[in-house]
Chain A
């Protein structure tokens, strides 16, 4: 059911920006892109979501391409506590807007 493709893992230096890509080439016009992360043994944490425009909050920025076929989550100054699995999810209307998790990207922030 997952409509997204993410790299399996990425490394980032502490203090640098972490840019996590996501492909969602079959996204429809009314489908939102959501990002969650899950730190080991904890529940998934909501980060950000968007439809067409770029979005920013206190945690991250979400950049969505004009054709909406891909997006990038940006953590501006990664810390060791940002090490987690990051999930990019498209909520599909025909599936009842379910939140369907793919494999995600393991982000390792290193000092």
Chain B
């Protein structure tokens, strides 16, 4: 089982709303990732968590706030977003951050900011 589950699959939010994207894996993985993908572009790394601690933040604006409440869950809290933040948000996980360990992706959450 290499399943990473993301909810919701689609989200429409206003610029003043607060919402969250959720990601779950039950593979015992200790590294989890958030990527952002704009249309016709490759995925871009946003955050990396390792053993529930934030280890990489790719200079992401503070309106995106990640949270890793336990080893199976990863959230991305959204507040005061802009229309240009509309994108596919991908969650991924791997056993740990060693380069020989495969990273598995979820199907993503489509976010539209209006």
Chain A interface residues (CB < 8 Å from chain B): 30-32, 34, 36, 41-46, 49, 51, 85, 87, 91, 93, 96-104
Residues in A neighbouring B69, C-beta threshold 8 A: none
Residues in B neighbouring A32, C-beta threshold 8 A: 99-100
Chain B window 35-56, contacts with chain A (Cβ cutoff 8 Å), 1 for yes, 0 for no: 0000000111100100000011
Closest A-chain residue to B94, C-beta based?
A99
* B90 contacts partner chain A, Cβ-Cβ < 8 Å: yes
A74 to chain B, nearest CB (A): 19
* B98 contacts partner chain A, Cβ-Cβ < 8 Å: yes
Assess whether A102 is in contact with B42, with CB atoms less than 8 Å apart.
yes
Which chain B residues in 95-109 approach chain A with CB under 8 Å? 97-100, 102-108
Closest A-chain residue to B44, C-beta based?
A101
Q: How far is the CA of A103 from the CA of B38 in the complex (A)?
A: 12
Given contacts A45-B105, A46-B104, whether A98 and B56 have CB atoms under 8 Å apart is: yes
Interface SS, A side? loop
Closest A-chain residue to B104, C-beta based?
A46
A67 to chain B, nearest CB (A): 19
Given contacts A32-B99, A103-B42, A104-B42, whether A44 and B90 have CB atoms under 8 Å apart is: yes
Residues in B neighbouring A99, C-beta threshold 8 A: 33, 45, 92, 103
Assess whether A96 is in contact with B48, with CB atoms less than 8 Å apart.
yes
Which chain B residues in 67-114 approach chain A with CB under 8 Å? 88, 90, 92, 97-100, 102-108
Assess whether B100 is in contact with A98, with CB atoms less than 8 Å apart.
no
* Residue from A42, A85, A103 whose CB has the most chain B CB atoms within 10 Å: A42
Residues in A neighbouring B90, C-beta threshold 8 A: 43-44
Assess whether A30 is in contact with B108, with CB atoms less than 8 Å apart.
no
